Amino acid sequence: MLFVGLVLLPMLVWFVGKAVFGAYAGHGFADFFGTLSSGFRSGDSGTWLLVLSPWLALQLIRLAVAGWRFAGKL
């Protein structure tokens, strides 16, 4: 999940952003990724949320499945 959050998700965000809003303020994906990685290293909460969002989504799915199993046993 960390690979998805650090590599695949930023690529998807950049491609969708480019298609919807146009070119990024920098010179392409490398500048976008540099800005993202510097925010990640500096502890920016928005960047951390973006990077960890695939793991958080997986945990929420696991929690929902466990809740359904528990509710079925009642």
Tell me the pLDDT tens digit for each residue of 27-67: 888 888 999 999 999 999 999 999 999 999 999 999 999 99
Whether 22 has a pLDDT exceeding 90, the answer reads no
Domain residue spans of the chain? 2-73
pLDDT value, residue 1: 87
Structure tokens at 2: 């960390």
Taking residues 4-26, report their average pLDDT. 88
Any residues with CB less than 8 A from the CB of 33 and at least 6 apart, and which? Answer: 10, 14
Cα separation values, 71 from 8, 58, 61, 64, 74, Å: 35, 20, 15, 10, 5
